[in-house]
């Protein structure tokens, strides 16, 4: 029997509480956009290439951070109490993370002393430029051909903006549509994709560059409030650059077609709005506070998102079974078990935001996924940690490195973020991806994965 605390920390069994309005919303979207969806292949297509910072790029710019080294650095700062150090250790031992994630070199000294604008800029500019350079090298696209730019970084938003930095560095054209998204959490990468998609609908024959990253240097929490310590333990350095095109001539060389984007925002509810927030602790030290309500809020957001997405992607047989059961329970008050749709019938691949082991465990359980489906998300968490909005692209790169992407395969990316938001993107592969032709962070070590990750991995500290 689960304890009250365990029940509070777990995702709710949301298939017991599906709201009909979200099912109707999904069908309303499907019907009202039916003509557009049918004509989409003829009128507009978003094609994409992606680039995540490779391991070579990491080695040039950053250092690996083992869990033991993290504890040594945290202890050396002299900031944390013994209770706080013990809490750090407990989180890391149960985090599902390995010993090879990356941090800026500034963190290997005293992170609190290096928490300044100059070091933060150095980190973020190097990550962004490294990812874009690799992307442009892969695609052969010239910077002056890019008409749309979207950069997202939730917690580091300097002036001039990061998007302005990209424009300056690559000397992009003066009429570029440039956007800088901040404060939107780990789901901002898919928000950026959705924004780029909508802008491409208005700009024919264009390229859109999307860049997703997060800054580690400026967001080290140097205090003892337990609710703010998770970011120190889980978040690591990473970045991704994605090039989207609506040029018909690019179809043959593009990897994926964007089929759907769906955004769910729960910010109208106070509990959802406040569950992840940047604020000061009692000692006036800034950090990101994570509420105990996070898992319940994430469950409600996920429920809303997938209930609306279902009519767009599930086979008709699954829709009929789900809808019939729902109507029987809600309208006719019949005491029957809810039918849980099998989303594996709609998608070949799943990229679930690697926000932490607890999140992955609960999504796997409630969507009835298996170890094979969850492998890319768990291995991304193990190898790179939570890289915020870019982690979905490390997961997709894992599929590519393993040679699992076949022409016609559909991939579902789903991410959670502060606000609170749950966002989805569905991609269709336009070609079979040959790993021998790929360059991504996994290629030199993909044969070493997957690895077994124990529930608890002790740290000798």
386 is catalytic: yes
Are 214 and 386 contacting, i.e. CB atoms less than 8 angstroms apart? no
Q: Catalytic one among 49, 88, 260, 349?
A: 349
Q: Catalytic one among 265, 305, 351, 391?
A: 265
pLDDT attached to residue 31: 45
349 is catalytic: yes
Q: Catalytic one among 386, 422, 423, 440?
A: 386
Please tell me whether residue 293 adopts helix, strand or coil conformation.
coil
Are 214 and 235 contacting, i.e. CB atoms less than 8 angstroms apart? yes
Q: Catalytic one among 186, 233, 275, 351?
A: 186
Phi and psi of 73, rounded to 5°? -65, -45
Residues of the chain with pLDDT under 50: 1-8, 12, 14-17, 27-28, 31-44, 54-60
Closest alpha carbon to 99 in 194, 236, 231, 207: 236
pLDDT attached to residue 48: 64
28 is catalytic: no
Closest alpha carbon to 223 in 287, 275, 277, 274: 287
Closest alpha carbon to 157 in 124, 199, 191, 202: 124
399-457: pLDDT as tens digits: 999 999 999 999 999 999 999 999 999 999 999 999 999 989 999 999 999 999 999 99
Please tell me whether residue 257 adopts helix, strand or coil conformation.
strand
Q: How do beta strands 177-181 and 146-152 pair? A: parallel
Q: Catalytic one among 353, 391, 423, 440?
A: 353
97-131: pLDDT as tens digits: 999 999 998 888 778 788 899 999 999 999 999 99
265 is catalytic: yes
**Integer CA distances (angstroms), 263 to 166, 192, 260, 429, in order:** 27, 11, 10, 22
pTM greater than the 0.85 cutoff:
yes
186 is catalytic: yes
| Backbone CA torsion sign across 51, 256, 392, 350 | negative
Q: What distance lies between CA 234 and its chain's CA centroid?
A: 14
Strand ranges, E, within 247-290: 256-265, 276-280, 286-290
pLDDT attached to residue 25: 54
């Amino acid at each position: 029997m689960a304890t009250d605390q365990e029940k509070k920390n777990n995702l709710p069994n949301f298939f017991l509480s599906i709201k009909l309005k979200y099912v109707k919303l999904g069908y309303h979207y499907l019907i009202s956009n039916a003509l557009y969806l049918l004509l989409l292949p003829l009128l507009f297509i978003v094609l994409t290439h992606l680039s995540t910072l490779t391991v070579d790029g990491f080695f040039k710019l950053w250092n690996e951070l083992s869990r033991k080294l993290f504890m040594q650095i945290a202890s050396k700062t002299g900031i944390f109490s013994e209770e706080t150090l013990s809490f750090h250790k407990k989180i890391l031992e149960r985090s599902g993370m390995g010993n090879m994630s990356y941090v800026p070199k500034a963190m290997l000294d005293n992170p609190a002393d290096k928490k300044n604008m100059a070091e933060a800029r150095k980190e973020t500019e190097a990550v962004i430029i490294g990812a874009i350079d690799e992307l442009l090298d892969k695609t052969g696209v010239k910077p002056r051909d890019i008409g749309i730019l979207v950069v997202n970084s939730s917690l580091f938003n300097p002036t001039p903006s990061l998007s302005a930095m990209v424009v300056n560095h690559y000397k992009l054209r003066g009429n570029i549509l440039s956007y800088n998204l901040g404060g939107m959490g780990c789901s901002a990468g898919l928000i950026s994709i959705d924004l780029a998609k909508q802008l491409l609908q208005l700009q024919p024959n264009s390229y859109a560059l999307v860049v997703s990253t997060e800054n580690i240097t400026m967001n080290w929490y140097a205090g003892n409030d337990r609710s703010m310590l998770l970011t120190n333990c889980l978040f690591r350095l990473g970045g991704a650059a994605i090039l989207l095109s609506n040029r018909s001539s690019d179809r043959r060389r593009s990897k994926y077609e964007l089929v759907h984007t769906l955004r769910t925002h729960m910010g109208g509810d106070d509990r959802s709005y406040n569950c992840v927030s940047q604020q000061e602790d009692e000692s006036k030290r800034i950090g990101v506070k994570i509420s105990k309500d996070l898992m319940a809020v994430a469950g409600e957001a996920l429920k809303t998102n997938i209930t609306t997405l279902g009519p767009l992607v599930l086979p008709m047989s699954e829709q009929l079974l789900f809808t019939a059961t729902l109507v029987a329970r809600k309208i006719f008050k019949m005491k029957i078990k809810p039918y849980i749709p099998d989303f594996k019938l709609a998608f070949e691949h799943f990229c679930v935001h690697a926000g932490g082991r607890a999140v992955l465990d609960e999504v796997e359980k409630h969507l009835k996924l298996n170890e094979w489906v969850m492998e890319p998300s768990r291995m991304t968490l193990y190898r790179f940690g939570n890289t915020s909005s870019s982690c979905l692209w490390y997961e997709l790169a894992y599929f590519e490195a393993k040679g699992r992407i076949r022409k016609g395969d559909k991939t579902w990316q789903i991410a959670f973020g502060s606000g609170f938001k749950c966002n989805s993107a569905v991609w269709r592969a336009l070609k079979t991806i040959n790993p021998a032709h790929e360059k991504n962070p996994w290629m030199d070590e993909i044969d070493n994965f997957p690895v077994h990750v124990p529930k608890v991995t002790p740290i000798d500290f």
